[in-house]
Each structure stands twice: as structure tokens, then as C-alpha cells.
Amino acid sequence: KQVLKIVKKLAGPYGIKRYEKDNYQSANFWFNDIKTDTDQNSHAKREKSFIPSTEAEWFFDSWYAKSAAIVYKESRKEEYLNDSVQFMNRSLAQITGENMIGANGRSVPEMALPESYNYIHKSGTLHEAPSPIIPLNWSKASMTLMLKEMSNLINDEGIK
């Protein structure tokens, strides 16, 4: 319950942030010629170009939905059932549509799950776009586990 409470605060419009001020894949990351390396110089360059409140929003909604469903089964508190359904829907909304452009300006495959949703900052306006790291097997596996948990919840609990 405590973990869900903490993680819920990191939920943005398109996914869940890893942590506040996370500069990896933040706004314009793919246009700033910044390596994804974890060395000190790469991190410093990312930190310098970071635009506040533009952290990447990751595919963790499926994990949240699955976890909330498990907590609901144990606690029987409606709020966890509601959260599991809400975050399942958010997770499904992360599947790419047709003719979508990724955060690097290139097209991304249709009906695929990206690693995250990133922002493009242009002329003071933010636009969301799927990460070019797509499809990601980890996000597909997470969604599969979520759907299995939600199916079990529906079948075991008779939820409609």
C-alpha cells in the first residue's frame, strides 16, 4: 500500500516517472546529441539541458495496475480496484496508433509498446511522443502480466 501511494504521485498524463528531475529521455533528449551512457560527463550534459517537469513517463502503469489488483484482493478496498482499472486503461492507452512519430522525429510501429513517452519542447509548448525504443519486450511482458492479473480478478471475483 505504501509503495502504491508513493508511485501514484509520480504518475503523469502518459505514464509514470521513475523519479522527480530524471533527465534521461526528458524533453528534447533525442535531439540534444546526448549519449545514454551512465558516465559522469554524459549525466552532467543531460542535467544541463534538462527542462523542468519534462521527465519521461515510463510504461509502469501496467505494473501499478497489477499491484493495485493484488492489494484489492487482499484488502477489499474499492480504491485499489478503481486504481487497478484506471491504470490498466492508462497502460492500454500507451499502445501506439497509426502514423505516430517518435520523440526522435522518426515514425514508430503501430500497435507497439514504447519504453516511455517523452516530451518535445518547441516554442514554449510541450508535445508528447513515444520513445524510439519501441517495441520494448519489458513493457510487453509487463502488460501481459497485468492482463493476466486483471483477467484473474474478473474471473475470481465476478467483477463486471
Cell of 160: 463486471
| Res. 160 pLDDT band, cuts 50 70 90 | low
pLDDT of residue 35: 64
| d(C-alpha 40, C-alpha 45), whole Å | 9
pLDDT of residue 43: 79
* pLDDT: which is higher, 157 or 135: 135
In angstroms, the Cα distances linking 106 to 31, 41, 101 are 11, 27, 5
| Res. 156 pLDDT band, cuts 50 70 90 | confident
Determine how β-strand 57-58 pairs with β-strand 125-130: unpaired
How many C-beta neighbours within 10 Å does residue 91 have? 26
| Res. 5 pLDDT band, cuts 50 70 90 | very high
pLDDT digits (tens, 9 = 90+) for 82-121: 999 999 999 999 999 999 999 999 999 999 999 999 999 9
Handedness of CA 16, 86, 7, 146 (dihedral sign): negative
| d(C-alpha 138, C-alpha 22), whole Å | 20
**pLDDT at 158 > cutoff 80:** no
**pLDDT at 18 > cutoff 70:** yes
pLDDT of residue 21: 94
Phi first, then psi: what are they for 109, rounded to 5°? -65, 150
pLDDT of residue 41: 80
Q: Which pTM was predicted? A: 0.92
pLDDT digits (tens, 9 = 90+) for 26-84: 999 998 876 666 778 877 888 888 999 999 999 999 999 999 999 999 999 999 999 99
Domain boundaries, the chain: 2-157
Provide the H-helix boundaries in 13-77. Answer: 40-49, 61-75
| d(C-alpha 17, C-alpha 119), whole Å | 12
- 3 state DSSP class of 129: strand
